[in-house]
Chain A
Amino acid sequence: MKCQTVIAGIGGQGVLFAAKILTEIARRREVPVLGSQTFGMAQRGGSVTTHLKMGEFESPLICEGDADLLLALDAVEAHRTLPFLRARGKGGAPACVVNAREDAAFPDPRVAGLVADMGIVVHRCNADREALAMKLPLVANLVLLGFASSRPGFPFAYAEVCEATAALSGPHRTTNLEALERGRALSGP
């Protein structure tokens, strides 16, 4: 199995924790994993991107046009990182899962045609609303993961996500699992 995932968001949104969960899944599957994080001056509020490569790879970085999956916690950052996604090909359809308000234009009409032509499947949900409803703005990342892993074709199963999250959550286990569940519920039955 080879899978290249880009996770994008804003500093403070929990991009790194989302990456950690997927990494933990890979570890449990005993699949080699390589990842690369954006570190730097922007601790909050700046663009943050993480690359995650599962399978036989040497480099921790993903080239533009190679990613199978884009998980975005913010619509602007999703647009910014869209070029990482590949076109539909022998690996199946690439997917873009994005946290966006219902009234936000995603993908932007100026790129929507291209996204469709490339066979990129877009899944969107308003994870922020769920997180704010829980009065925990920081769990939007988990809502998004719960949602994504309940969609057909997502490379990580919801149950796997729950197990990995539980293992990494420490005292926040219950609320984190609730956030995943809210995301799953958004995905429909």
Chain B
Amino acid sequence: MDTRTLEHRVLLGNEAISRGLVEAGCQFMSAYPGTPSSEILPAVVRYRAELGVDFYAEWSTNEKVALETALAAAYTGKRAAVAMKQVGLNVAADPALSAAYIGVAGGLLLIVADDPGLHSSQTEQDSRLFALFAKIPALDPASPQEARDMVARAFELSERHQVPVLLRPTVRVCHSEQSIACGPVVAPLRPADFQKNPRRWAATPAARMQLHRELNLKLAAIEDEFAAWPGNFAIPARDAARPAPLGIVAAGVCFSHLSDVLESVGLAGRLPILKIATPYPLPRRLVADFAKGCERLLVLEETDVAVEMQIRLGIPVWGRLSGHVPSHGELTPAVIEGLVAAAAEQAGLPARQRPPNPLREAVAALQLPIRRPTLCPGCGHRAVFYELRRAFPDALFPGDIGCYTLGLNQGAVDTVHDMGASISMASGFYHAYKQDGRTPPIFATIGDGTFFHSGAAGLENAVYNGARFVLLVLDNGTTGMTGAQPTPEAGATADGHPGGIVSLVNLIRGCGVGYVEQADPHDLAGFQRILLDALDHSRAADGGIAVVLARYVCVTEMKGLAAGQQPIPVEVRHAPRPRAADAAGPLDAAWMPRHVDRVSPCAEACPAGNDIERLMLLAGAGRLDEAAHLLYEEHPFPATLGRVCPHPCETACNRTALDGALSINAIERAAGDSGRSAAHWVTPGAPTGRRVAVIGAGPAGLTAAYHLARRGHGVEVFEALPEIGGMLRWAITEYRLPPAVLGRELDVFARLGVTLHTGMRLGDNLAWRALDDFDAVYLATGAWQQRALGLPGEDCGRVGFGLDFLRQVRSGNAPRLGARVAIVGGGNTAIDAARTARRQGAAIDVYYDVLLAIPEEVDAARAEGIAFHEAIVPAGFEPQPDGSVRVLLRPLAARAPQGATSRPFHTESRSADQVLVCIGGDADLGYAPAAGLPAGRRIAVDAWGRTADPRIFAGGDASSLGAGTVVGAINAGKRAALAMDERLGGPAIAAEAMQFARGPGVVSCAAAPRNAQQKAAPGPQEVRLTYFRRRPRTPSPHRAPQESIRDFGEVNFGLDPAGATAEAGERCFHCGVCTHCDICLDVCPTRAISLADGRYRIDPAKCTGCRLCAAECPRSAISMPQTGSCVACGYCTTWFECPSLLRAPDGLVSIDERTCIACGVCIQVCPQGAIRPRAGGMEVRP
């Protein structure tokens, strides 16, 4: 061919091969991308268009498939090619070996690119040795031009001998550029015409033996032909000393390197050289002829010994086998220069060694920062690995082959083996540990392309054999590392021919995986939640392998963020380091992390002063008896409060933000029910000789009596009604608070020596003067005076008070109300009256303006068939001749029209047999003048129940402190007891030490172990919800509504001890209180936290101040102020490892504007809050 007539273009070696393919009439190509072979197929597609050739090109799903596909095309008589990298040939090994025996009809070129020096590969394998093993002729081009020229000749050879031919370029051919002579298509295209011949195309073992024999004959013939192959030639030495002391046999690109270095070592023209382009079968006759003029040979070839091992001569052959050539690594020109000079010297030929390069040593001494391969700025893989490593520092991370192998840098890839191995190895790790009864968390990572290549087989196997792990399929929609080739899910084919779409989700499900979640890792906390859920599934009894499909775009393919994703330019804030003496030294102690417990929000919210966090700790450990003791320290009513409390603790519970508040109320009840009663735990204090009168035996009075008696004061309780208990006894209904439960709790007063007088009403049969002998008086007389509506007709005889009705029922004198009862009011008394009347068989309507009752009670009432009418209020009542009453109703907001009418304004009316008004009550303070107290609705007191008279205290519904709820009354009673005790010579009130942060509750004893926790409770934003597994709130079983309305049996069964223990143990966050969960130990990047004597210690020499421990503490029990500026800790550059975060020698970090694509994820990474959205303008460092 006269190349002077051809057009010259500068082409990459891979493009030169592609050009050769198209020009040679090749019409069919399949490939799997892999460096350094990836550019061949796309270039073929370009030349196909340029030259107008009918050419089919496909990216196959793996190399085995690619070879089999191309083989079939070659069976039809067409010229076909297949391309892959060297390790891909291992995948295609099975069809490759059979292909040699069975052969082809049209020419088949197997292009396999080797990677000496491991620029981007796992092994330095020599595909020419594979050819030798498989008995496939192999070609080894020395340059892009030779590679291009070889293609046509190789097809011709392949067709003539009906064998596939291996074209083996190395990386220095594939990725070199050269001026290439390009020409037109020279070989004719052929129609597909498969000639059936089962003895060949479907050969059985017997026929294969014949094929093997024929193959050996073909190879012998090819060896003969190769002696005259144009790329095999000898270059004699200019000085004709014969025999030459040393001859060089150089194959492939080694010949090119050799040619350029001989001059610099003074050997140009002094050595005979034999260039070899056909390493297998080696033209041994040609080598022998060359060797006749040499005393010894030096063989230069890559990557292994394919040529050297075929040479059998009577003279020494130097090479890898003799140790003259390094047996690993690339033979670069510099390496060849050195070893040829050394071999020449050894052979007696003086050579000039290049003097040492002084710059090399000087530059090495600079210790330049190494730019290791790293994921691109903005790559979604980085967020995945960052989160994996942070959330699961102790997990096993089997990784895979692709860009995401670089998860290594972030500590979230432990193994990298071959394509698809992540899944099989995760399975193996699981079974190996399981054998020992251990199940460490296992997170395997694999890219979408690699999963399509070889992930499914491993996944099927793992499912089939019962392995448990989490598989993350990192789906960036492309084959990223090799240059963004489409995957089977992309809907795009290599040459644009119509194709189908393989759904990754369906494929995963098809492998037998039931749990497939899709996630966007850019929301780090949300992604962590998804990972935790997946891990839970992989460990659940009814779970299995969990697959998380992390989806994002390849930012390099997209040349930026995903369409629609808002760029978030970031900056690093720099400020003088807070209170540090030395800018580079450790942080001042005030800015270091400290483990400091805080008050839990539940405890802060509890008016009764219960240390709920500790209650959960005890209950969660199944220690309900001790839990009861803890409660009895604060009040005598855990079983009661566990039934009737509106539980502000649950309202405050941070768990609401995850999956529903903790059932604290039910746990308190379980402790009160199943623990030993107060009578067991509580004893009267040493007598003080002081006497206190408590007027009113409701929850406020009894709580005061309880604490006073325990402090040794003589307590006498005066109760107007025939039995003690107040509202608990007379107003709260039996189906909510069974008398036996209350009775058990009231037993403690006898044990405490409290004198109980019943049937004595102050100002009636108990004179104020009779109290003169007492050192203090506590007025807790309640609010029994019911408020009327003040509406026309209210005095008709059919309108009564709900509280009176309830008291009559509890006294055993229940009046019959009739078939239809209307309740007015939205408080707890209204609901109690409604449900009680319902139990008499009445139909109930509740009219209210605002619903203030406990929501669970309202729900139960609705379930029992009670009708609620929101914002509908009565306007008047009209008695009916049949003895019933007509209730006139109007909407709360409606106004009467102009003009007077005889009837009150109303919009509707209903008839009822009875109306019960439940809109609250007032204290009956008839005794106030005698006591010297100002008249009024309630007795005015301070926060500790003190009145203006130092001897008189008050609380509960009768006062301004603790009115409205049982728990409020308990709070008031305790506070007053403490204040009276102080007055009677007890310890002074230390409000600061007794309160739970800013909450209403106080502890009964300032020496209580948690009383120093004055720091405010952490809110939901300060709790790391992601660390907690979802576990729905345990519902308390209830009686069925249709059954419960038949009698007064208890409706809510509460939680049994096991249920309460599980609820407390598995659901409580222990907000603000260190539980020694060790997460701080695990997450600390510098292992600065250690555990000694049950306490965490922080080594100031190791602590970098990154603040990750405080940020990651699940319950906010580590205190560390956020600086909001860079503290030079290096956390982001080490663990997030974005190349756009530049760390200066002083440790401070800045953003590299040149490479940052403003993905904004690093903002979520810095625990100090130093990385933030850029306010505008360029970043400025001080």
Stretch from B60-68, B174-182, B1089-1097 contacting the other chain: B174-182
Contacts of B260 in A (CB 8 A): 57-59, 63
Contacts of A108 in B (CB 8 A): 366
Residue of A nearest to B356 (CB): A65
Tell me the bound Cα distance from A76 to B405 in angstroms.
26
Tell me the bound Cα distance from A136 to B818 in angstroms.
87
Stretch from B357-365, B544-552, B792-800, B951-959 contacting the other chain: B357-365
Contacts of A37 in B (CB 8 A): 12, 175-177
B1087 at interface by CB-CB < 8 Å: no
Tell me the bound Cα distance from A66 to B359 in angstroms.
12
Stretch from B160-168, B332-340, B424-432 contacting the other chain: B332-340
Contacts of B816 in A (CB 8 A): none
Known: A60-B177, A80-B368. A42 touches B373 (CB 8 A): yes
B10 at interface by CB-CB < 8 Å: yes
Q: Are B119's CB and A42's CB within 8 A? A: no
Contacts of A83 in B (CB 8 A): 357, 359-360, 363
Q: Are B178's CB and A111's CB within 8 A? A: no
Which one, B35, B253, B377, contacts A39 given CB within 8 A?
Answer: B35
Q: Are A27's CB and B255's CB within 8 A? A: no
Which one, B12, B255, B333, B405, contacts A41 given CB within 8 A?
Answer: B405
Tell me the bound Cα distance from A39 to B334 in angstroms.
20
Contact with A along B370-409 (1 / 0, CB 8 A): 0111101100000000000000000000000001011000
Contacts of B357 in A (CB 8 A): 64-65, 83
Which residues 30-85 of A sit at the B interface, judged by CB distance below 8 A?
30, 32-47, 57-66, 76, 79-80, 82-83, 85
B120 at interface by CB-CB < 8 Å: yes
A119 at interface by CB-CB < 8 Å: no
Which one, A10, A33, A64, A65, contacts B178 given CB within 8 A?
Answer: A33
Q: Are B360's CB and A41's CB within 8 A? A: no
Which one, B143, B377, B1153, contacts A45 given CB within 8 A?
Answer: B377
Q: Are B1139's CB and A45's CB within 8 A? A: yes
Known: A46-B372, A80-B363, A118-B359. A41 touches B10 (CB 8 A): no
Total B residues in contact with A, Cβ cutoff 8 Å: 56
Contacts of B333 in A (CB 8 A): 59, 61-63
Which one, B172, B359, B371, B556, contacts A85 given CB within 8 A?
Answer: B359
Q: Are A36's CB and B261's CB within 8 A? A: no
B434 at interface by CB-CB < 8 Å: no
Tell me the bound Cα distance from A36 to B176 in angstroms.
4
B1154 at interface by CB-CB < 8 Å: yes
Residue of A nearest to B364 (CB): A83
Q: Are B1153's CB and A137's CB within 8 A? A: yes
A26 at interface by CB-CB < 8 Å: yes
Which residues 17-45 of B sit at the A interface, judged by CB distance below 8 A?
35-36
Q: Are B368's CB and A79's CB within 8 A? A: yes
Known: A43-B556, A58-B259. A114 touches B179 (CB 8 A): no
CB distance from A46 to the nearest CB of B (A): 5
B257 at interface by CB-CB < 8 Å: yes
Contacts of B1153 in A (CB 8 A): 132, 137
Tell me the bound Cα distance from A36 to B119 in angstroms.
13
CB distance from B410 to the nearest CB of A (A): 14
Contacts of A12 in B (CB 8 A): 376, 1154-1155
Q: Are B403's CB and A41's CB within 8 A? A: yes
A130 at interface by CB-CB < 8 Å: no
Residue of B nearest to A115 (CB): B359
Which one, A39, A58, A61, contacts B332 given CB within 8 A?
Answer: A61
Tell me the bound Cα distance from A39 to B333 in angstroms.
19
Q: Are B373's CB and A76's CB within 8 A? A: no
Interface centre among B35, B120, B359, B1154 (most CB of A within 10 A): B359
Tell me the bound Cα distance from A17 to B333 in angstroms.
25
Residue of A nearest to B9 (CB): A27
Contacts of A110 in B (CB 8 A): 362, 365-366
CB distance from B219 to the nearest CB of A (A): 30
Q: Are A35's CB and B177's CB within 8 A? A: yes
Tell me the bound Cα distance from A36 to B377 in angstroms.
26
Q: Are A26's CB and B10's CB within 8 A? A: yes
A181 at interface by CB-CB < 8 Å: no
Q: Are A42's CB and B172's CB within 8 A? A: no
CB distance from B92 to the nearest CB of A (A): 22
CB distance from A87 to the nearest CB of B (A): 9
CB distance from B569 to the nearest CB of A (A): 13
Contacts of A42 in B (CB 8 A): 371, 373-374
Contact with A along B510-545 (1 / 0, CB 8 A): 000000000000000000000000000000000000
Q: Are A39's CB and B36's CB within 8 A? A: yes
Tell me the bound Cα distance from A32 to B144 in angstroms.
13
Tell me the bound Cα distance from A187 to B377 in angstroms.
33
CB distance from A73 to the nearest CB of B (A): 10
Q: Are B261's CB and A63's CB within 8 A? A: yes
Contacts of B337 in A (CB 8 A): 63
Known: A58-B255, A58-B256. A43 touches B10 (CB 8 A): no
B8 at interface by CB-CB < 8 Å: yes
Q: Are B360's CB and A79's CB within 8 A? A: no
Residue of B nearest to A19 (CB): B177
Interface centre among A24, A32, A41, A47 (most CB of B within 10 A): A41
Q: Are A10's CB and B371's CB within 8 A? A: yes
Q: Are B556's CB and A44's CB within 8 A? A: yes
Which one, A40, A80, A128, contacts B1154 given CB within 8 A?
Answer: A128
CB distance from A76 to the nearest CB of B (A): 6
B481 at interface by CB-CB < 8 Å: yes
Contacts of B1076 in A (CB 8 A): none
Tell me the bound Cα distance from A127 to B637 in angstroms.
79
A126 at interface by CB-CB < 8 Å: no
Q: Are B1154's CB and A13's CB within 8 A? A: yes
Contacts of A64 in B (CB 8 A): 334, 357, 360
Tell me the bound Cα distance from A122 to B794 in angstroms.
105
A150 at interface by CB-CB < 8 Å: no
Contacts of B9 in A (CB 8 A): 27
Which residues 345-363 of B sit at the A interface, judged by CB distance below 8 A?
354, 357-360, 362-363
Contacts of A79 in B (CB 8 A): 363, 366, 368
Tell me the bound Cα distance from A64 to B359 in angstroms.
10
A5 at interface by CB-CB < 8 Å: no
Which one, A30, A59, A111, A132, contacts B362 given CB within 8 A?
Answer: A111
Tell me the bound Cα distance from A111 to B364 in angstroms.
10
Contacts of A62 in B (CB 8 A): 333
Tell me the bound Cα distance from A155 to B322 in angstroms.
45
Q: Are B371's CB and A114's CB within 8 A? A: no
Q: Are A43's CB and B358's CB within 8 A? A: no
Residue of A nearest to B406 (CB): A41
Tell me the bound Cα distance from A137 to B28 in angstroms.
42
Tell me the bound Cα distance from A18 to B374 in angstroms.
23
Known: A23-B177, A45-B377. A114 touches B120 (CB 8 A): no
Contact with B along A113-137 (1 / 0, CB 8 A): 0110010000000001000100001
Q: Are B362's CB and A114's CB within 8 A? A: yes
Residue of A nearest to B1178 (CB): A132
Tell me the bound Cα distance from A55 to B35 in angstroms.
28
Residue of A nearest to B362 (CB): A111
Q: Are B1154's CB and A137's CB within 8 A? A: yes
- Inter-chain pairs besides A26-B10, A34-B178, A41-B405, 6 sampled, C-beta below 8 Å: A33-B178, A35-B10, A42-B374, A58-B257, A63-B261, A114-B359
Can you report 28 A-B residue pairs in the complex whose CB atoms are below 8 A from each other?
A12-B1154, A33-B10, A33-B177, A34-B177, A37-B176, A39-B119, A40-B35, A41-B373, A42-B371, A45-B1139, A58-B255, A58-B259, A58-B260, A59-B172, A60-B143, A61-B257, A61-B332, A63-B260, A64-B334, A66-B264, A76-B368, A76-B369, A80-B368, A83-B363, A110-B366, A111-B359, A115-B359, A137-B1153
Which 3 interchain pairs have the tightest Cβ spacing? A45-B1139, A60-B176, A58-B259
B residues neighboring A (CB under 8 Å) = 8-10, 12, 35-36, 119-120, 142-143, 171-172, 175-179, 253, 255-257, 259-261, 264, 332-334, 337, 354, 357-360, 362-363, 365-366, 368-369, 371-374, 376-377, 403, 405-406, 481, 556, 1139-1140, 1153-1155
